Amino acid sequence: MTFKTREAITAGAIGGVIAALICLLVNYFLVPFPETAIENTVNHGISGLFSGLLSGFVGVMVALTKVNKASRD
């Protein structure tokens, strides 16, 4: 496995863990318990949006930090 592939997998895994935690926290604390299937679907969409945005941002920041560090060495 090459250096870039390993770094991409690491950044993706970090983003995935963050997404799971954010999804859990949003569903548990912010989103009320759904009464219908439609409300449940919307709630999962909301938590997926928040977790996807945050994990994508953190994943990109981790990747940029590692690339900048590697270019300085």
How do residues 2-44 score in pLDDT, each as one tens digit? 667 787 777 778 777 877 887 788 778 877 778 898 988 888 8
Q: What is the pLDDT of residue 63?
A: 76
pTM value is 0.58
Task: Residue 15: count other Cβ atoms within 10 Å of its Cβ.
Answer: 22
What pLDDT sits at residue 46? Answer: 81
Q: Which of 65, 68, 69, 25 is nearest to 47 (CA)?
A: 25
Pairwise CA distance, residues 51 & 44, whole Å = 10
Q: Give the integer Cα–Cα distance in Å for 24 and 27.
A: 5
Please give the angle made by the CA atoms of 68, 20 and 12, to the nearest 5 degrees. Answer: 30
